[in-house]
Amino acid sequence: MNYCRIALSFVLLVFATGNLPAIEKNNRNRWATPVKKGPDKEVPGYLINLGPTGARGTLESKSFTVKYIFAGSPAVGKLKLDDVITGVNGKPFKTEHQFGHHLTRMKKFPKVGYEGPLMDFGNAIEDSEGKDGKLTLSVTRGGKKMDVVIQLEAIGQFSKTYPYACKKSVSIAEAAMKYLSNNEHIRREPCHAKCMSGLALLAAGKTDEVKKLVYSWNKIPKFGIWVWPASYQCILLSEYYLATKDKAVLPTIQGLVDVLEKGQVADMADYKDRTHGKMGNVGHKFRTGGFGHNTNVGGYGTMTITTALAVTAFELAKDCGAKVDQKKIDLALAYVRKSTTKTGYIGYHTHRGAYSASGRQGLAIIAHRLAGENKQNNDYIKLASLGLSNSKKYLNDAHADNILAVCWGLLGANVSGDEKALRDMMDYNKAWLNMARCHDGSFVSLPGRDMYDKGYYMSSRIHLTAAMALVLSMEKPKLQLLQK
């Protein structure tokens, strides 16, 4: 059956009923699809992490079913496989969770976020850690109901201003950094995770470790490379130079700028006849000043997130003394602004589209902040900050890589200087962050509502752990891209 016809039928169903279905069957078969490498390769599938308990499971509408328990974790000897968790700390799960369907072609977002068992469980972790650490789970095992007590570390609760003036934030950030430190696996990670890990280590003052990572990446790529790795490489090398003044990376930074500049659309008229596989003619998806997936501007057109990412790389490279064409930066920023609605929503190609936008909004804020203090940039940052507040329920529902949205959405909220945007994003997603925490100090990706999300399969742990190490230590930012 034609995929587009299926998607259209579903959208019409949503509008007709006004409701989203509860959790999709088998989480689109990902419950039983494991990663092929990394620390989660022994886990049987893309499961819901049950916070620092060390257990993971599937999520039904009002319960979790345990499907994996990590050795040496608090859940060992307490929970058993196929235990059904129906409540926590004496409170049954009453609200039905709604993953809903994918957000790709919806014209408006559902009113619900991750309310239900996910939020209830995450809030219970917060309560227990603020007391004696005892987390009491209501469990059905073999038809029998019982209470199971998991002993967590009593590390306290997040402050009202977290990650600012918050001992728990400091403790969790230090644990995440310890997990990253001297982890050789980082060098084999995708560019997103590699860059964020380097930035987190750099922010923690671990310059010797960052030097090894940077030197392994200190090579000018060939033209045609994707915009993603070129931008992330430029960002890390630039921040490394600004922190260390190690001139060995300067030629590569300039080379990366040159490659990226060639990858920007100068005139969309040059692409009016462009076709892309079964999509046919995609010339209307190219925009002047924008960047696509790769530097030879192939694929299906320009995108706001790669454009904002490239501008971030340009601005940091400029701070290192690299020669960057200011006209190209101005064109790119103009493209991002044209793709932003009056509510601060930033579309995928233009202002249209219904993917969750927090990653694009956060990156756009950072790019405009780095571009300098002026009325146009300041007004835009206020607009994009409004968009972040509106996106608080969809932080984890991003297209292709949900970790990108969590990372840049939260970092951008802080850089914005907008206290409401920061609080909206951090406070609403507090329980989610507790659920993403693992017993060993790392963070792991949780399933969201976009059917094309592959963040877990690209970097199940390293990317999000590095991102959260930065987020939870934002009170003392040491990186240029995190300055307000």
162-182 residue pLDDT tens: 999 999 999 999 999 999 998
Residues 6+ apart with CB under 8 A from 321: 250
**Per-residue pLDDT averaged across 134-153, rounded?**
98
What span, in angstroms and rounded, lies between the C-alpha atoms of 223 and 230?
A: 10
Convert the pLDDT of each residue in 346-375 to its tens digit: 998 888 776 689 999 999 999 999 999 999
Return the domain boundaries, the chain. Answer: 20-151, 167-482
CATH code reported for the domain at 167-482: 1.50.10.20
Would you place residue 24 in the very low, low, confident or very high pLDDT band (cuts 50, 70, 90)? low
Would you place residue 297 in the very low, low, confident or very high pLDDT band (cuts 50, 70, 90)? confident
As given in the structure block, the two tokens for residue 423 are 């609080």
**Per-residue pLDDT averaged across 82-86, rounded?**
98
Would you place residue 302 in the very low, low, confident or very high pLDDT band (cuts 50, 70, 90)? very high
Q: Which candidate, 481, 388, 419, places its Cα nearest to that of 164?
A: 419
Residue percentage of the chain with pLDDT more than 70: 92
DSSP H or E segment with residue 480: none
More confident residue, 463 or 5: 463
DSSP H or E segment with residue 148: strand 144-151
**pLDDT at residue number 301:** 92
Would you place residue 102 in the very low, low, confident or very high pLDDT band (cuts 50, 70, 90)? low
What span, in angstroms and rounded, lies between the C-alpha atoms of 339 and 106?
A: 18
State yes or no: cis peptide before 163, omega within 30 of 0.
Answer: yes
User: From the centroid of its chain, how far is CA 24?
Assistant: 22
More confident residue, 451 or 302: 302
Would you place residue 13 in the very low, low, confident or very high pLDDT band (cuts 50, 70, 90)? very low
**pLDDT at residue number 26:** 77
**How many CA atoms lie within 13 Å of 276's alpha carbon, on the beta-carbon side?**
16
Q: Which residues pair with 66 in a beta bridge?
A: 57
What span, in angstroms and rounded, lies between the C-alpha atoms of 381 and 416?
A: 6
59 has a pLDDT exceeding 60: yes
Q: Which residues pair with 310 in a beta bridge?
A: none
More confident residue, 269 or 118: 118
**pLDDT at residue number 170:** 97
4 has a pLDDT exceeding 60: no
Would you place residue 106 in the very low, low, confident or very high pLDDT band (cuts 50, 70, 90)? low
Q: Which candidate, 234, 235, 296, places its Cα nearest to that of 265?
A: 296
219 has a pLDDT exceeding 60: yes
What span, in angstroms and rounded, lies between the C-alpha atoms of 367 and 466?
A: 20
Q: Which candidate, 298, 265, 287, places its Cα nearest to that of 335?
A: 287
114 has a pLDDT exceeding 60: yes
132 has a pLDDT exceeding 80: yes
DSSP code string of 31-70: TT---SSSTTTTSSSSPEE-GGGSEEEEE-SS-EEEEEE-
190 has a pLDDT exceeding 90: yes
**Per-residue pLDDT averaged across 117-139, rounded?**
98
Cα 189–Cα 473–Cα 112 angle in degrees, nearest 5: 80
Q: Is 139 left (phi over 0), alpha (psi -120 to 50) or beta?
A: beta
Residues 6+ apart with CB under 8 A from 387: 340, 341, 343, 344, 345, 346, 357, 361
DSSP code string of 329-367: HHHHHHHHHHTB-TTS-B-SSSS---S--HHHHHHHHHH
CATH code reported for the domain at 20-151: 2.30.42.10
Mean pLDDT estimate for the chain: 91
Residues 6+ apart with CB under 8 A from 27: 45, 46, 58, 59, 99, 447
**Per-residue pLDDT averaged across 296-317, rounded?**
94
3 has a pLDDT exceeding 80: no
**pLDDT at residue number 184:** 84
324 has a pLDDT exceeding 90: yes
**pLDDT at residue number 10:** 37
Q: Which candidate, 105, 172, 189, places its Cα nearest to that of 399?
A: 105
pTM for this structure? 0.93
Cα 259–Cα 262–Cα 266 angle in degrees, nearest 5: 155
Q: Is 373 helix (H, G, I), strand (E, B) or coil?
A: coil
